[in-house]
Chain A
């Protein structure tokens, strides 16, 4: 087990080196090379994705049990890398427009990515914490990246303070777990808990704190308070990043933690996740109704979506885990598409962020309006779009495990959520036109928009390959 094998870490090592190398280039060349560094980072990520695909996806545990690479980790890392490339592609033009094209931006994105990939592969509570902090620290800086904007600074500070608090809770939980099980290694914890008839109270207590810390990272109720403010305050390209990627990593981490070492304590964590899931869905649906700012609305939407994904974890079955992976994948695509439009909402080079700014978009920019309508219908879970199938599999997993009440309440909140998604469609299609947006739509945004639309429309026709890879990834957790 402890042979010194770094091959499973190859993508992480490669990305760290890319980040360091480009940092040196940035320091010597200054901010004028930011676009080059952006694309270089995107290219580096693409190479990392290829490395990942070329690797042996059988389960490997290396670094004295600190680091695990299996099908699940491989699949989630692939999602993370694709999400990061998308976020970078959406950012390049926006950074220039907002006069904040500094070379640290893409490097921080890559470093956050390395952190996320460590999280996904963590097989030890400390590795988990280190991965999480690497990710979080990079994201705190990114939230405050537009340092001339008061809101951006506020977002960064708020995110940092609350994030530090949640990290503290996480560490406290880790120390309790260590105290009661005598180990921080997932495998050992799992074995020692599996041998017990009842779970010690201290373990439950520690688990509660760990879950609180992680709920903060996926912005689940009641640890969601930072989300709307940070989403609104952060530069839109950073909001896009926040919405698309970190949730994947945190959700993957949560799944590994709950399904692997703490599977024996399922009865305990199930109730907590049950409540978090229900509360997130309800709050996400009701609180979004009153929003006027589209970024805030999307923040609540992401809270609600995490609630749906958590249903699959509550189910606690391999199908449930597969459904979560699939849900996150579809959610990422929809969110990326939405942000490809939101990031382009600019009039006379000023960012427009109100929902009313989309007024009459179907007359001024019909293609964008129809794309947005597809995203919104998909998010509300209307067939035949992919978003419906994401929800379908989640609810199927819940019903199969007899969580009828959770499934029913969850699906009812989706009707409430449909109201505010429809509102965006209403503004675009039924309202009078306001002035059009600035025309320029770079290739990268077009590409993201196109891929997202095609994915959502075509998923119904040939879904097998995607579903099977998501399921086999999830099943790696249950061996």
Chain B
């Protein structure tokens, strides 16, 4: 059972993965010399640091016991001892792949920015490594305050990345991103503090066992929802995403679509479902309808976009709709599908934004109409782009299929109408992606500049091919992921159903119950 890696019990691999990027930041800040040398050394340093983190990530993957539903690689140290917070890190099947995704996408982003970021290179690399630290920390944290610190801290580097290196409307987009997300998050903070007061602990595994009164659950659920729904983003609070994506530099879009959006889904799985099961059941129909609207509506919106990045951004909202749909079915297929869909979308949308970045670097426009017939002068690009396009459509054999299929299977078990409506989104997804592909890759070569563009260079191939291989691998061997997440998902669903069944009046809540201001009893020892 026990592998060699887990014998090294005291080896704090999660902390190392989280804080190694910060060590890189310090070294980069120390670099002195000519501007050109500084830029070059900063880039190399950032790349090596992120590759080291990725290497640790591979050890983590190897050492992770996929048959266990418990938290693994746990570290726990006292922190803010007078308040009883702790520095508690650990991963289970739900979080481990998000850690890997973050560790995998960061070096890709750094390579992708190698030539396209020309100003303030050192600062850019610092911001990216900080982002990596915070992302990995978010997925590893097992203390609610620690989680919030990482979750919210992400805003700082991302605000700067959009605002400093973004496009013409970058200031507006950076503000919108920051304030939208902050507004949701602060409500979550109040909810976390309430949970702390109710449960007397900030330890996430311990909080999962705390029973909370039904009325209180509903309020807390809404507060969490405010944060995670914005982060996902769900319709109708998704409007920050297209702006942020369009204005962010390529690497910023990649990390935004690839990892940051997943924090919302991860939050639902970590907080809403296990801690607030009654409220999750109560609000599930609302989430279903919001998800379906997101899937259908944003697909239609994507259909009429002229800006490539905007189109992919809207498609992200639609794909995230499948995720929320799957999560709140609380079926094995639905939840596993949601996690799989998040991972798959993390790879595919990241790759699509990189593909846009490739042509944007050459022609400096994202307008679809300015391209056409690229298959003639960029055959390699056309091939890679096709793989990701088909992955986004959800063609069997790519990772996109597995995620969408599983979530829909989960949805069918709960509500056939919802599932049927969501399935139309798959069709619409095919329409807008194929349309995009046809207009960019095929068709006449009207624009001389576009016709003169060079095909992928070695660096771009090095970035895109690993992503393509992963997308195909996960499409053919999805069990690589699903086997490892299954025990944790099963445990989540078992606990959820046990909680629901323990409370027979759960179904009977009416809206009047919700409006009553909650009456809280602080449990014994719960006060501070």
Mark A residues whose CB is within 8 Å of B. 319, 377, 380, 382-384, 388, 392-393, 395-396, 399-400, 402, 404, 407-408, 411-412, 414-415, 418-419, 422, 425-426, 429-430, 460, 463-464, 467-468, 471
Contact = CB atoms under 8 A, between A and B. Distances in A.
27 contacts: A319-B528, A377-B156, A382-B155, A383-B148, A383-B150, A383-B153, A384-B149, A388-B149, A388-B152, A392-B145, A393-B83, A395-B190, A399-B193, A399-B194, A402-B520, A412-B186, A418-B179, A422-B159, A422-B179, A425-B159, A426-B163, A426-B171, A429-B163, A430-B163, A430-B164, A430-B170, A464-B81
Interface string B173-203: 0110011001100110110011011000000
A429 B174 CA distance: 12
Given A411-B189, A412-B183, A430-B171, A422 B178 contact: yes
B245 to A, nearest CB: 18
A429 B160 contact: yes
Contacts of A425: 159, 163
A414 B186 contact: yes
B528 A408 contact: no
A404 B193 CA distance: 10
Contacts, number: 92
Contact of B190 (A402, A411, A429, A464): A411
Given A418-B182, A471-B82, A383 B194 contact: no
Contact of B175 (A396, A402, A422, A468): A422
Nearest to A467: B82
B92 to A, nearest CB: 24
Contacts of A429: 160, 163-164
Given A396-B196, A463-B80, A415 B183 contact: yes
Contacts of A412: 183, 186-187
A414 B182 CA distance: 9
Contacts of B190: 395, 399, 404, 407-408, 411
A419 B174 CA distance: 11
A470 to B, nearest CB: 10
B527 to A, nearest CB: 7
Given A388-B149, A392-B145, A400-B528, A411 B186 contact: yes
A199 to B, nearest CB: 26
A383 B152 contact: yes
A468 B83 CA distance: 10
B178 A418 contact: yes
Contacts of A395: 189-190, 193
Contacts of A393: 83
Contact of B186 (A396, A399, A415): A415
B194 A415 contact: no
Interface string B49-82: 0000000000000000000000000000000111
B153 A382 contact: yes
A464 B82 CA distance: 7
Per DSSP, chain B at the interface is: helix
Interface string B396-416: 000000000000000000000
Contacts of A414: 186
Which of B80, B81, B196, B527 has the most chain A CB atoms inside 10 A of its CB? B80
Contacts of B148: 383
Interface in B320-366: none
Given A430-B163, A460-B149, 20 more contacts: A382-B152, A382-B153, A383-B148, A383-B149, A383-B150, A383-B152, A388-B149, A395-B189, A396-B197, A400-B197, A404-B194, A407-B190, A408-B187, A411-B190, A415-B183, A415-B186, A419-B175, A422-B178, A429-B164, A468-B82
A471 B182 CA distance: 29
Nearest to A468: B82
Contacts of B83: 393, 396, 467
Interface in B118-166: 145, 148-150, 152-153, 155-156, 159-160, 163-164
Given A319-B528, A419-B179, A467 B80 contact: yes
Nearest to B155: A382
Contacts of B152: 382-383, 388
A106 B147 CA distance: 46
Contacts of A407: 190, 193
Given A396-B193, A399-B194, A382 B80 contact: no
Contacts of A419: 175, 179
Contacts of A380: 182
Contacts of B149: 383-384, 388, 460
A316 to B, nearest CB: 14
Interface in B189-226: 189-190, 193-194, 196-197, 219
Contacts of A400: 197, 522, 527-528
A429 B522 CA distance: 46
A430 B174 contact: yes
B526 to A, nearest CB: 9
B248 to A, nearest CB: 13
B53 to A, nearest CB: 19
Among A393, A404, A468, chain B packs the most CB atoms within 10 A around the CB of A404
A349 B58 CA distance: 58
A414 B520 CA distance: 26
A415 B520 CA distance: 27
A418 B175 CA distance: 10
A380 to B, nearest CB: 8
A388 B196 CA distance: 17
Contacts of A399: 190, 193-194, 196-197
Nearest to A395: B193
User: Interface centre among A415, A460, A463, A468, by most B CB within 10 Å?
Assistant: A415
A337 B207 CA distance: 38
Nearest to B195: A399
Contacts of A404: 190, 194, 219, 517-518
Contacts of B183: 412, 415
Nearest to B134: A384
